[in-house]
Chain A
């Protein structure tokens, strides 16, 4: 068993593109990834595609064959839906297929069209990642769910809205040179604290924006990379997935995320590393509190300790453990089904030294991608390592 390599990556600009169809966005991302990989497109054997709300946004189910066709590929294609972790789940299955030796070249990716339906309908669409009968019908929104978790965290461990604001400030700062990011805009702690409340205690700047965008990556077996002399020095060396009860009220913890803990344990074990080996990472910061929960779930901080990590400068660009150098979901944007692969793309570019924030991690060789679905009823973790050619 060998570790799949990332041979090429591609994405669209993340932002408000209400007139762009999902198929057009995915075509752009997919073709860019194939071009970046420099492989013969005929060698692609399958598409693993993530999408969450295509039925609601575009009245389009069964998207995977449509997306394969959009990239000009005649291959079996499957859509993965795990809410915001849709393309994380897609990566995981592609990794297994390549490791098993059942394929040598896979295209993974995702797309989401969201802003065309407007804010109210997008808020409604996002809410369906929760339990419809017992949460959504009680008025729970996606920000509302994370607000429930944020208050539970504050009650259990302490922490302040100002500390959450520091996370938003950090991620906005990271996105400044990222031409693909939705928000290349500096903010201050005061801006965040003064912003309108969406679901108390979370305000506008605690929340990721609503985003259109698509992502794609070409994953290849080590043998294929060697045989074709590909410039593919980043390997996916670990994969893990965890689950939890759907509704928050059925969970054992409101201020911890066991799905992330389980996914991380499995991924670390799979890669043969411990958390201390992680040099930098992209975590699923759909809300500022989510970054805190992720860092603790990934065993990089003890429960209750990550809330102050950004404020203390530990997870900033010049800190010991840079988090979300891409800008994270918060500033880069969160086209839901495309986000897992967006993290893979950012980490690959950072490890390869071709990301605008690569200077922050020049000597690093081990990175982590953490993708979470809903209120972390689903989570995937992947370990990426620079292994050289």
Chain B
């Protein structure tokens, strides 16, 4: 890791996911969201706590990106997907499976990997 400033909340979540201790932010009404949060994006409640992220979720939708931005130049083609973990959904890349074999409804776990192009951290989903 470089000495670049961190992105509080986001980098904390990635650290936690990498340690197998992923979490999400939950308000007192039970709405889930991703950090950093001072208010619930669904209802505005400021009564927030960190709760453990379920260790698997289901792919809601995905795409195989063949025309990437420069920071993913050498990563393409890659699969970007939205995964429903129940209280929250998260966007990341599906790895460890041929893009042709990715399907909606597939059950995946979450981890943190690195991009090929720039060695940047990326949220990764792998089939369970």
Contacts and interface: CB of A to CB of B under 8 A. Distances in A.
Interface string A183-206: 000000000000011111110000
B34 interface: yes
B63 A144 contact: yes
B64 interface: yes
A155 B67 CA distance: 23
Contacts of A50: none
Interface residues of B, number: 36
Nearest to A198: B67
Interface string B63-76: 11111111111010
Contact of B72 (A139, A196, A200, A202): A139
B123 to A, nearest CB: 6
A151 B61 contact: yes
Given A121-B70, A148-B82, A249-B82, A138 B65 contact: no
B67 A141 contact: yes
B71 A134 contact: no
B122 A144 contact: no
Chain A contact surface mostly = helix
Contacts of B68: 123, 139, 141
Given A151-B63, A199-B63, A250-B41, A136 B89 contact: no
A124 B70 contact: yes
Interface in A256-311: none
A135 interface: yes
Contacts of B62: 148, 151
Given A152-B61, A155-B104, A250-B41, A138 B67 contact: no
A349 interface: no
Interface string B4-46: 0001001000000000000000000000011000000100000
18 contacts: A134-B91, A137-B120, A137-B122, A139-B75, A139-B80, A139-B115, A140-B80, A144-B63, A147-B65, A151-B62, A197-B64, A199-B65, A245-B41, A248-B91, A249-B88, A249-B89, A249-B91, A250-B41
Interface of B: 7, 10, 33-34, 41, 60-73, 75, 78, 80-82, 88-93, 104, 115, 120-123
Given A139-B65, A140-B65, A249-B91, 9 more contacts: A121-B70, A134-B10, A137-B120, A139-B68, A139-B78, A199-B67, A248-B82, A249-B89, A250-B34
